[in-house]
């Protein structure tokens, strides 16, 4: 059933995100043309047009990022907390499946948004001479790694990339879950649901700041703190960095688990759709 929920979610959200991605790529092409000639043209019309194209490209980047965030909030709100919630709660699916469908789709669109923005920036900055120089530099780096047998550098780089990817995915999930839990808490109230949702979001942020300060104070001058700073002689700096990354991953997992529990609990026990 999760597969059907995902199919429905992707179909509902793709109608909004894919055209925005197309417009962003189109705006990046216009921005590239403006950089390559319009801005330096003697024609007032062309230079003005180039400036407008650059502004449109900037607006398109901001719009795509904001829309990905709004869509994440709106799908959870309309699908589970408004009138559609009556229908969704009668389907033969669990709360867990409904939450996971929203999490997976939102995370995919966040990742796609980042990739499309990077692609659009590359298109804007594209220059055939620059790409040729970049390709030659990459070949030189690969040749140096192979020649001097720096496979440990490659392995550690791949490990850091994997750890960073896991952190990014967990960061996206935790970002969604914090918003979901705030809305679930707010909609457990009989009145002023939106106001209580905002208050819950702010309240959880304050609690996180307090807990973060406590954790930092406890770790200060500890073995782990010295390890992260490279002061622990029995562990190498690279190993300490890997341990630090996995420490952050574990913290993110705990963060996600807490907000996931809050979301499920309030949706199951205290949801008030009236």
Give me 36's structure tokens. Answer: 């390559």
Give per-residue pLDDT as tens, 130-154: 666 666 777 776 666 566 555 666 6
Distance CA 183, CA 166 (A): 26
Mean pLDDT within 10-34 = 89
Decide: 81 and 273 in contact? Cβ < 8 Å.
Answer: yes
pLDDT, greater one: 150 or 98: 98
From 174, 202, 173, 178, select the one nearest 263 (Cα to Cα): 178
Is the pLDDT reported for residue 228 higher than 90?
no
> What local confidence, expressed as pLDDT, does residue 225 receive?
60
Is the pLDDT reported for residue 171 higher than 60?
yes
Give me 170's structure tokens. Answer: 């967990």
> What local confidence, expressed as pLDDT, does residue 226 receive?
60
CA-to-CA separations, 222 to 125, 216, 225, 231, 248, in angstroms, rounded: 46, 10, 5, 11, 16
> What local confidence, expressed as pLDDT, does residue 4 receive?
83
Decide: 262 and 183 in contact? Cβ < 8 Å.
Answer: no
Decide: 188 and 165 in contact? Cβ < 8 Å.
Answer: no
How confident is residue 32, by pLDDT bands cut at 50, 70 and 90?
A: confident
Mean pLDDT within 10-38 = 86
Distance CA 181, CA 264 (A): 8
CA-only gyration radius of the chain, Å = 24
Give per-residue pLDDT as tens, 181-205: 998 888 887 788 888 888 988 988 8
Is the pLDDT reported for residue 245 higher than 80?
yes
Distance CA 208, CA 214 (A): 10
8-state DSSP, 188: T
Percent of the chain with pLDDT over 70: 76
Mean pLDDT within 196-219 = 82
8-state DSSP, 233: T
> What local confidence, expressed as pLDDT, does residue 167 receive?
92
How confident is residue 127, by pLDDT bands cut at 50, 70 and 90?
A: low
How confident is residue 82, by pLDDT bands cut at 50, 70 and 90?
A: confident
Distance CA 169, CA 161 (A): 12
8-state DSSP, 245: H
Domain residue limits, the chain: 1-126, 153-274
């Amino acid at each position: 059933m999760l597969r059907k929920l995902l199919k429905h979610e992707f179909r509902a959200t793709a109608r909004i995100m894919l055209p925005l991605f197309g417009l962003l790529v189109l705006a990046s092409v216009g921005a590239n043309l403006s950089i390559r000639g319009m801005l330096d043209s003697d024609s007032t019309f062309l230079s003005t047009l180039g400036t407008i194209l650059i502004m449109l490209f900037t607006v398109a980047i901001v719009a795509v990022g904001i829309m990905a965030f709004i869509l994440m909030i709106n799908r959870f709100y309309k699908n589970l907390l408004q009138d559609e919630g009556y229908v969704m709660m009668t389907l033969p699916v669990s709360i867990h499946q409904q939450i996971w469908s929203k999490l997976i789709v939102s995370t995919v669109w966040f990742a796609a948004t980042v990739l499309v923005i990077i692609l659009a920036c590359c298109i804007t900055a594209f220059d055939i001479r620059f790409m040729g120089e970049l390709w030659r530099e990459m070949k030189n780096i690969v040749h140096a790694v192979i020649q001097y047998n720096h496979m440990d550098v490659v392995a550690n780089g791949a490990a850091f990339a994997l750890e960073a990817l896991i952190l990014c995915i967990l960061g996206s999930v935790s970002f969604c879950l914090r918003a979901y839990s705030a809305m679930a808490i707010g909609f457990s109230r009989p009145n002023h649901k939106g106001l209580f949702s905002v208050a819950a979001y702010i309240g959880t942020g304050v609690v996180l700041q307090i807990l973060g300060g406590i954790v930092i104070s406890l770790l200060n001058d500890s073995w782990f703190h010295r390890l992260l700073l490279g002061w622990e002689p029995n562990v190498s700096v690279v190993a300490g960095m890997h341990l630090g990354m996995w420490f952050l991953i574990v913290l993110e997992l705990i963060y996600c688990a807490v907000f996931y529990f809050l979301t499920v609990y309030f949706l199951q026990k205290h949801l008030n759709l009236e």
